[in-house]
Structure 1
Amino acid sequence: MPALAEILAFADELKAIRHDLHAHPEIGFQEVRTSGVVAEKLASYGVEVHRGLGKTGVVGVLEGRGGPGRRIGLRADMDALPIVETTNLPYRSQNPGVFHGCGHDGHTTMLLGAARYLAEKRDFKGTAIFVFQPAEEGLGGARAMIADGLFERFPVDEIYGLHNDPYIEAGQISVFPGPAMAAADFFDITITGAGSHAAMPHLSSDPIVAAAALVQALQSIVSRNADPFEALVLSITQVHAGSAYNVIPEEATLTGTIRAFRPEVMEIARRRMKEICDGVAAAHAVEIGLDLRSVFDVLINHEAETEAMAEAAREIVGDEGLITQPRPMMGSEDFADMLQKAPGCYARVGHSGDLPLHNPGFILDDAILPVGASLLARIVERRLAA
């Protein structure tokens, strides 16, 4: 894959860093070892290091040779997923039940690669801010860093990030303005009934029957309440109830997520969920509690910064490798919170592989590492040209 020659020269080191991070994955807000590796590498490059933002976040500060000027932020996420890895790679996870199945080990490595390149050259006027964020996977890492004063302590004029993408061709970069990734709410539903012997169901208020009815009824929100031209997803992802063959339990729980690109559509889903929960509770003589909370905002790429990112990408992959037509995804990203604090852009970098993100067998293509590092480095040099 195309990349800057200086970064290609240390591609093997980038691969070694990623394999080490992959073998030692850590869940959000527990990235103690990972943040230690990041801090040690940054310091070895001559980058000023700050630790502890958002619990385990790391920030690096690098001044260019051209003197004071504007400040450009680059962000990568560091956390892994609670998934059992099935790749059988020689550098597979050594932490049972924890797996870098989304490529955050690659994102961290790419930003370290960009930091090394920029520290060696410093061919820019102004300051590069390297933000290594914890807890992106639905735990609010971006909001935690912001609450800890990220942008007060390290103000930026613009901020950029990227994600690996097995859904586009290797060597392609996708970047476009406007809504790029959906907002997401997570929900927990608790259904409380009355338990009984399974042979005497008439003495119960069965929460499992209510749960089954609720799962079906909630699907009608997308099919019968939302405008079919509006993107909306509602997924039940967990169902828990009972512990014996012959006992109707007291309680059942459901969890899941709703996603959309517009606040009005999210509000329709939230309102109807509450109404349906109340209706099913009345129909089945149970109590239903709904805990619904906003976790991700819509990720919106800013116009001018997106064009700047596209131009940087064009230098790396050429016109033939640049995708600029809008292709929003229903997945969510808490980089959206940082884009509400400073203008910027979030790009996607294609790589080989036929398994989706969050699959226990997902394998990140190491060839993408110098490509992503080159894109991040080039956007700094372009935006802070001396």
Structure 2
Amino acid sequence: MKQENLEKIIAFRHVLHEHPELSNHEVNTRKLIKEFIAQNMSGYLVFDEVSWLYCMKPYQPTKQTIVLRADHDAIMNSSNTPFHGCGHDGHTAILLGVMLEEEGRESEYNVIYLFQPAEENGSGAAICKPLFETYHVDKIFGLHNMPNLRKNIIYYRPETVMCASVGYRISLTGVQSHASEPEKGLNPVYALSAFAKSIEPLAKQTGFQPFTFANKHFSSLAMITIIHVNVGSLNFGISPANGEICLTLRAAKENELAVLEEYVRSYFEGLKGKFKVSIEEFDRFDENYADPSLVDKTVRKLKAAGLEVEELSEPIRASEDFGYYKKFAPCMFFFVGMGTCPSLHHDSYVFDDEIIPTAVCMFETII
């Protein structure tokens, strides 16, 4: 990168870092992005779609179109305060850095720079669907910084890059009774406990190897994590009627996530003769899948440009809503290593500005 551009981008990343906003509330963040573009670039059209935005040079219908995507939402820390604990401030800075570097250059592609909201809750990619209904997009690229991978190395993987996942909240309503007469009521704790015990093997499936659970065969990782359980209240005279359990279901393959979902739903729907049952769904993430042909072609180009590139031996267990974009065009998702540092979402995590030039160079090479 030009030193002047790098200094601008680092300074702007620090501004974003000081103004974190949660998913679906990134109003000031988008204002800051637009102000930076207006103050530093004149060669791009800025399309403000209210809850998201994208930029491009004048569209030429005879050219193929590629999308480069960055997210810009923040998360909560353990003190219940918003902070950029996942590095989306860095992702946004990187994309703006590419725009600065590419402003005066011609490309054989239309390049759309997509600034996406709400990645953390899985809703942001779908919000940006109108972009893909407006333009025929041929390829889509995204990235994530990654602590504890070698610094300034670009990591990739064909096929499954990150897992599919979904959150469930299941509520049971039985019959309340006096604590001295529990037989006269219907306490949901035993049904919830039996379910929790039944899925305990799925909390131990941490590898991407085939296995069998409940007579269902899984070709790769599939797991369920219990994130919350609540039954009754601190009242020693009552056998409670109400209980709930919250789960994160996760699988390397979307079709196998569906198998987990069917197991959970059928278990609780089977209780409807006794309990009132409510099942709510949250934060659905599609499998983040990289097109093998695009991966092969892109990796060869990156290596030819002298960038250090390494293939991941297995997918990342976490989810990323970038996986939604495979509905529209071949996709490829990268990780840029940040070296030894606190993990994503840790209270002490801070994006490392030293990886910005590597990430910008990667996207420039792709363009």
TM over 0.5: yes
Paired with 2:178 and 2:100, the residues of 1 have a C-alpha distance of 66
TM superposition shift of 1:317:
5.8
**Alignment partner, residue 360 of structure 2:** 373
* 2:337 pairs with 1:314: no
- The TM-score with structure 1 as length reference comes to 0.83
Distance in 1 between residues matched to 2:352 and 2:178, nearest whole Å: 54
- Summarize deviations over 1:108-150 as a string: whole Å, max 9, x none: 111111111111x32323421100011111241111110xx21
Percent of paired sites with the same residue:
27
Look up the SS of the partner of 2:195 in the other structure: helix
Maintained 8 Å contact 1:56/1:134: yes
Structure-2 residue corresponding to 1:352: 339
Structure 2 distance, partners of 1:19, 1:84, is 21
Question: Aligned partners of 1:259, 1:100: CA distance in 2, in Å?
Answer: 24
Q: What does residue 193 of structure 2 align with?
A: 212
Instruction: Name stretches of at least 5 consecutive residues in structure 2 with no aligned partner.
Output: 206-211
Q: SS of the residue aligned with 2:96?
A: helix
- Alignment-mate amino acid for residue 269 of structure 1: L
Q: Give yes or no for contact 1:218–1:276 (8 Å, CA) kept in 2.
A: no
SS of corresponding position for 1:273: helix
The answer for the alignment partner of 1:289 in structure 2 is 278
Secondary structure of the 2:126 match is: helix
Which residue of structure 2 lines up, in the alignment, with residue 193 of structure 1? 174
Contact 2:218 2:256 in 1 (8 A): no
Name the CA shift for 1:236/1:349 in 2 (closer, same or farther; >3 Å).
same
The alignment covers a number of residue pairs equal to 355
Q: Give 1:127's aligned residue.
A: 110
Unpaired runs of 5+ in structure 1? Answer: 86-95, 381-386
- Equivalent of residue 176 in structure 1, options 148, 152, 157: 157
List aligned pairs for 1:254-269, cutoff 5 A: 254-269=245-260
Q: 1:280 to 1:116 in 2, by over 3 A?
A: same
Distance, in Å, in 1 between the alignment partners of 2:20 and 2:324 is 24
Is contact 1:114–1:377 with CA below 8 Å preserved after alignment?
yes
2:146 to 150, 165, 179: 165
Whichever structure has more helix as a proportion of its residues is 1
Shift of 1:36: 0.9
Q: Deviations over 1:309-341 (max 9, x none)?
A: 3245436663xx311254212222211121220
Per-residue deviation at 1:358?
1.9
Residue 205 of structure 1 deviates from its aligned partner by 1.8
* 1:17 alignment partner, one of 12, 19, 40: 12
Report the TM-score, using the length of structure 2 for normalisation. Answer: 0.87
The superposition leaves residues 216-272 of structure 1 with CA deviations (integer Å, 9 ceiling, x where unpaired) of 223356663343652101111122343424244332222222122334422321222
Match of 1:271 among 252, 262, 265: 262
Amino acid at match of 2:87: G
1:124–1:268 Cα change, 3 Å: closer
**Counterpart-to-counterpart distance in 2, 1:260 and 1:241:** 28
- Aligned CA-pair RMSD: 2.7
- Which residue is 2:47 aligned to? 50
Contact 1:84 1:99 in 2 (8 A): no
What SS class does the counterpart of residue 24 from structure 2 fall into?
coil
CA distance in 1, matches of 2:29, 2:340: 25
